[in-house]
Structure 1
């Protein structure tokens, strides 16, 4: 009989080594993430709710005209009326931080994969692993390295949400027509000129689709992140589940649905605007 591999012991030994030798790195990461979350949260909490609702409705009108503006205003007024405005803004700060970090990491990695087949072959199974591993598993190392609170929630969200941006950036750049790339090379374009003036503009619909999926996946992690101390609307859902308060859970879940619809529609309309320009 083949003896059982001590995989769990290897993983724990690796985690212990990282915690002992790279604690200063985790402290730096924690400080940066907390700064971003707190900064965005302060921005979202600064204006009165009605002022921010009016600004978002104006953005919705600019992107999608009256139907979207009315939907945005009605949904946000409902959140305010139910008493979830403050927690929704905390959730929005958490989601935007996770999405921002995912985009900053995902687009360069996607470009790297598109330019080098060997890199793509290395990252493909890693991305498969990240997307198929249960999201709860990510909470364990995140809590081990960063403790409880907002930071491990953001880290877990980034791991869960970054693959679509990497995949679709890689796909979009690879789908740029070969004859256009050859023409750019023939005219003496540098790699940077070819990337930013040809490949990026043509791949932008695919890249924005990846960004849209990343934002939605980051939002889907808010309830899970609340289990390790991340504040926001997810904490209300988790509290309602543990206390079996169906009505409160429905209200908090409805606030998440409204926020998800708004973020999804805003990114979709931005894509349409870019295509029409």
Structure 2
């Protein structure tokens, strides 16, 4: 029997009870009111801040933050910012561009070198040279530390079953937590500015490398390991001469994902005064200035594409070299030597000529911003009526009724309804997890705001799955459509989430709907690809059997392909939920309210830190609850549904996945 039948029964009973109890005991907190628990957390924060000079933990975190700030300042003086008594950087813009281009050719190809050259020049031409270099420095520092920390953890996870279980639990928690929530504890221990930005970026960037690298090491064939053991190799020899070299390609893929995750978080860290391109984007978002946010937003995308393509190409080249390929090595060495000399000459010239040290002040950034602002205004005038109608249709027809049911029911009614649905879809395991998470939400005194956030997440996920089903099935059934759409999806997954708010805010204005639409755009690429791959994986013999009975196209899709791929659909729903939750929280910056606003308030106002911390923990509990329900549902469907048995324990990072 379909699980939707008892689920609809639960919802019907819920609606009946709601109609008699609406507005009673919803646990709503008016305005900025906070509870005794929130004040206790705020007092804890104040005590820690007051003991910065005496508390051993705070002394350690202060020292780490100071070291990170000193390293950043040194790199900034070298590459971007004038330094007295020398009024220009140690290496001017020409030298930086030349070195970066040479590195691109050395680790990849001339195409990547050209991409890097164009990307770096665009940073200066559009007037954001220093901000771009600052963002690259923060990202590079975080990635470098991530490799130092993450690779030993990956090796430990790959070679020890017990360690793997412990590390997996920690990584699950880290990846379920939305990005914006990382800022709350980081600000407490590492403060605002460079130190906090690098640490927040580092924490978010570690999980992808550990997961992917450990997977690659574990996948080294057992026969190869046995052969090395029989030859008498030690543990270290086996690791460094066999396992890591054979997992090289997978490890570099992990580095690719870590780099994109670091860039994404470094951009968001601008809210705690992290340096880089995120600052002008944030300032423009607060002022609802589309033109002001457009150019730095585009440059963030350019940087993301540059880093993505560079690490991917480096992975492909390392694989070719390992197999004895890589082209004419003699010619390549000559080109590297000559271009290296050119790069050194460029560095020397950048130290002599002021115009080659500091990027020329005349840029086209302001012109492009004005043109973008004008174009967006025209676009809003053109489609504003349709956009407003769509917003009202979703809000009044779907969002408001669901919000009323979840947030205006007595807290115990909403809790029982959610528990019943968790049991229907995920069984006992999901029921237990949901019970613990809801108890935590109730304890943290933000039940009403949690229900508001949950409403936005569910509405956004429904919209994501509508897009995923339509486009995913279309891609699976038509190879030409797949070839046309998939590059767009890849590009969409490369863009940091912060950037999605820019055009959506300009179109819909500051509101909860803006956060929902931005979440849909951010989550749709991953969900669409999962659905497309799942439908495409249905056995051709099964499809042919259905066609032989005279099934129509609609029957084939609804009776064969979607039921056979329902495990992939549940996994797509899982990822859609978590991605939308991540984006809805960031939407607190643009009027989404609820828990996202509480987190923003806690970061920006020290007297509200306790409420912000409680909101962050509440978001984590919601994320864990939704993740476990959908993953349990996938396992249940795998066990009792038709179609091939598959494992659905894949965890994609909340960030810029690929």
CA contact (8 A) 1:112 1:119 kept: yes
How far apart are the structure 2 equivalents of 1:234 and 1:127?
26
- Cross-structure match for 1:146: 190
- Cross-structure match for 2:371: none
- Cross-structure match for 2:61: 26
Higher helix share: 1
Matched, 1:95 2:159: no
* CA shift for structure 1 position 72: 2.5
The 1:142/1:94 distance shift into structure 2, 3 A limit, reads same
Matched, 1:113 2:142: no
How far apart are the structure 1 equivalents of 2:284 and 2:158?
45
TM-score (norm 1): 0.90
How far apart are the structure 2 equivalents of 1:189 and 1:11?
54
* CA shift for structure 1 position 81: 1.1
Question: Larger radius of gyration, structure 1 or 2?
Answer: 2
How far apart are the structure 2 equivalents of 1:239 and 1:225?
13
How far apart are the structure 1 equivalents of 2:212 and 2:109?
28
3-state secondary structure, aligned to 2:272: coil
* CA shift for structure 1 position 155: 1.2
Which runs of 5 or more structure 2 residues have no equivalent in the other structure?
1-35, 81-89, 322-658
- Cross-structure match for 1:178: 222
Higher mean C-alpha displacement, 50-59 vs 267-276: 50-59
Matched, 1:53 2:97: yes
The 1:10/1:109 distance shift into structure 2, 3 A limit, reads farther
What whole-Å deviation, never above 9, does each CA across 1:109-133 have from its counterpart, x for those lacking one? 0101111101101111211110110
CA contact (8 A) 1:58 1:69 kept: yes
What whole-Å deviation, never above 9, does each CA across 1:55-91 have from its counterpart, x for those lacking one? 3233334455443333322222222111100111111
Matched, 1:166 2:166: no
Matched, 1:40 2:75: yes
Matched, 1:208 2:252: yes
What whole-Å deviation, never above 9, does each CA across 1:217-274 have from its counterpart, x for those lacking one? 0100123201111111111111111122211211001111111111112212221221
CA contact (8 A) 1:223 1:238 kept: no
How far apart are the structure 1 equivalents of 2:39 and 2:166?
25
TM-score (norm 2): 0.39
How far apart are the structure 2 equivalents of 1:204 and 1:13?
49
- Cross-structure match for 1:3: none
CA contact (8 A) 1:222 1:233 kept: no
How far apart are the structure 2 equivalents of 1:187 and 1:66?
41
The 1:9/1:117 distance shift into structure 2, 3 A limit, reads farther
Which runs of 5 or more structure 1 residues have no equivalent in the other structure?
1-5
* CA shift for structure 1 position 12: 7.7
* CA shift for structure 1 position 13: 9.3
How far apart are the structure 1 equivalents of 2:171 and 2:274?
25
- Cross-structure match for 1:236: 280
How far apart are the structure 1 equivalents of 2:207 and 2:121?
33
Matched, 1:80 2:124: yes
The 1:204/1:39 distance shift into structure 2, 3 A limit, reads farther
The 1:171/1:188 distance shift into structure 2, 3 A limit, reads same
CA contact (8 A) 2:270 2:276 kept: yes
The 1:7/1:265 distance shift into structure 2, 3 A limit, reads farther
Higher mean C-alpha displacement, 200-209 vs 18-27: 18-27
Within a 5 Å distance, the mapping from 1:243-262 to structure 2 comes to 243-262=287-306
The 1:251/1:105 distance shift into structure 2, 3 A limit, reads same
What whole-Å deviation, never above 9, does each CA across 1:148-175 have from its counterpart, x for those lacking one? 1111111111111100111112111100
The 1:170/1:246 distance shift into structure 2, 3 A limit, reads same
3-state secondary structure, aligned to 1:103: helix
The 1:7/1:194 distance shift into structure 2, 3 A limit, reads farther
